[in-house]
Amino acid sequence: MVENTEKQTFGFQAEVKQLLHLMIHALYSNKEIFIRELISNASDAADKLRFESLRDPMLMVDDPDLKVWITLDKEAHTITIRDNGIGMTREEVVQNLGTIARSGTREFLNSLTGDKAKDSKLIGQFGVGFYSSFIVADKVIVTTRRAGVPEGEATRWTSTGEGEYDIETVSYPKRGTEVVLHLKQEEEEFLNDWRLRHIITKYSDHLTLPVIMQKEKGEEEGEGESGEEVVNRATALWTLPKSEITEEQYKELYKHVAHDFEDPLMWSHNKVEGKLEYISLLYIPARAPFDLWQVGKTRGLKLYVKRVFIMDDAEQFLPHYLRFVRGIIDSNDLPLNISREILQNNRVIDAIRTAITKRVLGMLEELAEDKDKYQKFWKEFGQVLKEGPVEDFANKQQIAKLLRFASTHVDNEKQDVSLAEYIARMPSGQSKIYYVTAETFNAAKHSPHLEIFRKKGIEVLLLSDRVDEWVMGHLTEFEGKPLQSITRGGLDLGELTDKTAEEHYKQVEGDFSETLNKIKEVLKESVKEVRLSRRLTDSPACIVLDEQDLSSQMERLLKASGQPVPIHKPILELNPDHMMIRHLREEQDTARLEDWARILLDQAILAEGGQLEDPASFVRRFNKLLLELTK
């Protein structure tokens, strides 16, 4: 490794440069958070070392008490954060402090707006980590030696945060990492011992790792220049009784665990004893991370076994649809040498997972009692939770209670109506929960299928998320009430069916039979049936699916994912009371009738938000009929 010894200069990855620039501006008003980020890294480094030493105890024997030391030097204008954790190799330094490995970073950075307030939130969601040092420092020197690496092979990284960094191999007597921040001239406030101590305590009280500072030198003290003291609680916070933990500490622990800047919406802390023994501390974040939808991104809880950190993102403790939950599991029953592979098929884990799933669903139920707070949650994570009824059969009903929908009875786009509320509002005689699915909220809201429901004042849920069709396919009923798509099958209003209207249909059916047959003949390639409609009051026509047919939304989803789509023809329903349809009955000209029939079908498809196979012909026919009006 001789050739590595010399100083080498590297350029930051483009994303790092962009992030550094944006971050310094966006987070300037919140600059003290660099302390949190650096102590948090030291704590992770200690956790990693403790974990590695389970397999290789020699790594720690010479220096077994893991700590982080923070010192300030007023003359040199520096703050130093040193830990005796895992340290980094030269390669790791280049990888960790020169690049951002997370996929989607570029897209994320491009989404920033230049508006400070907004961007600081977004950057918070992204998590800035080590680079936040450059908010207050104009030069940062990191010296680090990986556990197990000889003294002469430590690495030094130096940068002014402007585009380049230097790397050299140096000699360093200790294991771990030292970060020296050369503060910008104007950042003197952090050299104030009292101020710094205050910030450090705030940001490290929740950590297990002791944070050590030089004792404040009182005038009278004189001799004790080596006096050090622990400035945080330095116990595993989650092992303490709830009564001994402050809100602030819970929140700070969350920020450390979740790499989030914002406070969580809620948390639940529990010690389970009996057949299984574990502690769980579960948090519901207030905001979705920028990469929530990234495929293949693992997400999960921080796993500890008997207080020893084992791994981040142990996703086996939560079902996929609760992947937004963050927190800690500390188990007494799992072996310390557990690996991700073992986690896959383990009865202890299955049992914990079942219990935690219940616990989270309970938390959400509690959250739902506060409508405003729950709306916040729903906006961020509702789409994820909607996967629940499909994934988790056993808890289907409980999850269904937590779902929220837009509805004809709410006058905006808010998804705010629960199934229980819907049922409570149902008029007597209504036995089903009605819903309509469409591509967009507006398409759902204006669907011709709603006409009869509007007229009768029956509530219909308006569904327009991509997953809705799929979710409803699995839900099928709630508290004994079947869920019914109003765009499928015959209209079944049960006891709410209007007897006189029914008589009326029976009467006109005969009058229209010849016309219906003619239209059927014209459209036989495109529809499986043409019939009179009981659902329309204003529109002339609509498309209906059979119960088992694939919806157009599902069809598009399948097509988009490159899967074969079974061909099915819809049913065309015509409104016998509409002027146009009545006119059609009188139409003697076959060519005109054909144009009308095709236009009616195409219109009905368009009204559903569907796509025409031959839009140009639709326009031509339509214009032909319009021109006739001018004659």
Site residues for ligand ADP per CB under 6 A? 37, 41-42, 45, 83, 85-88, 96, 127, 129-131, 177, 259
**Closest approach of ligand ADP to the CB of residue 72, in Å:** 18
| Closest distance of CB 235 from ligand ADP, Å | 21
The rounded distance, in Å, linking the Cα atoms of 408 and 455 is 12
Q: How far is the CB of 78 from ligand ADP (least distance, A)?
A: 17
Give the ranges where 524-567 is alpha helix by DSSP (H). 552-560
Tell me whether residue 266 or residue 288 sits nearer to ligand ADP (CB atom): 288
Shortest distance, position 43 Cβ to ligand ADP, whole Å: 9
Please report how close the Cβ of residue 152 comes to ligand ADP at its closest, in angstroms: 19
Neighbours of 31 (CB within 10 A): 16
For the CB of residue 479, give the shortest distance to ligand ADP in the complex, in Å: 44
Q: Please identify, using beta-carbon distances, which residue of 51 and 422 lies nearer to ligand ADP.
A: 51
Q: What are the structure tokens assigned to 541, written together?
A: 């026509």
Question: Shortest approach of ligand ADP to residue 98 CB, angstroms?
Answer: 10
Give the nearer residue to ligand ADP in terms of CB position, either 37 or 380: 37
Q: Tokens 């009784």 correspond to what residue?
A: 241
Which pair of tokens denotes residue 565?
């789509």
CA–CA distance, 621 with 631 (Å, rounded to integer)? 16
Burial class of residue 492, CB neighbours in 10 A (0-12, 13-18, 19+): middle
Q: How far is the CB of 267 from ligand ADP (least distance, A)?
A: 21
Q: Which strand ranges, in their side-by-side order, compose the sheet holding 266-272?
A: 266-272, 278-284, 326-331, 301-305, 308-314
Strands 481-485 and 68-73: unpaired
Sequence letter at residue 615: P
Q: Report which residue's Cβ sits closest to ligand ADP.
A: 129
> Residue 132 is encoded by which pair of tokens?
């936040």
CB of 425 to ligand ADP, least distance (A): 47
**Residue with Cβ nearer ligand ADP (41 or 125):** 41
Q: For residues 153 and 451, which CB has a smaller minimum distance to ligand ADP in the complex? A: 153
Output the CA–CA distances (angstroms, integers) from residue 291 to 107, 117, 126, 470, 599, in the order listed. 10, 20, 8, 23, 44
Q: Which residue, 97 or 483, is less far from ligand ADP as judged by CB?
A: 97
- What are the φ/ψ torsions at residue 218 (nearest 5 degrees)? -75, 155
CB of 124 to ligand ADP, least distance (A): 12
- Residue 263 in tokens: 């406070």
Q: How far, in Å, are 316, 317, 327, 395 from residue 354 at the CA level?
A: 11, 8, 16, 10
Work out how close the CB of 87 gets to ligand ADP at its nearest, in angstroms, rounded to a whole number. 6
Residue of 375, 370, 317 lying closest to 348 (CA atoms): 317
- What does the block give as tokens for 382? 């509702």
Cβ-based nearer residue to ligand ADP, 85 or 388: 85
Residue 128 vs 462, nearer CB to ligand ADP: 128
Nearer to ligand ADP, 85 or 540 (CB): 85
In the complex, minimum distance from the CB of residue 238 to ligand ADP, in angstroms, rounded to a whole number = 20
> 254-259 long-range CB contacts below 8 Å, 24 or more apart?
254/283, 254/285, 254/326, 254/327, 255/36, 256/36, 256/40, 256/43, 256/206, 256/207, 257/283, 257/302, 257/326, 257/327, 257/328, 258/283, 258/285, 258/326, 259/127, 259/129
The nearer residue to ligand ADP, 314 or 463, going by C-beta atoms, is 314
Q: How many angstroms separate the CA atoms of 19 and 120, rounded?
A: 12
Least distance (Å) from ligand ADP to the CB of residue 240?
A: 25
Give the number of other Cβ atoms within 10 Å of residue 153's Cβ.
17
Cβ closest to ligand ADP, residue 69 vs residue 512 = 69
Backbone dihedral angles phi then psi of residue 327, each to the nearest 5 degrees: 150, -160
Residue 448 class from Cβ within 10 Å (0-12 exposed, 13-18 middle, 19+ buried)? buried
Least separation in angstroms between residue 146's CB and ligand ADP is 9
Of 83 and 263, which CB lies nearer to ligand ADP in the complex structure?
A: 83
Structure tokens at 570: 């819809």
What strands lie across the sheet with 461-463, from one edge to the other? 406-407, 461-463, 433-437, 481-485, 477-478
Between 127 and 148, name the residue whose CB sits nearer to ligand ADP.
127
Residue with smaller CB distance to ligand ADP, 86 or 257: 86
DSSP 219-252: TTT-S-TT-EEE-S--S-GGGS-GGG--HHHHHH
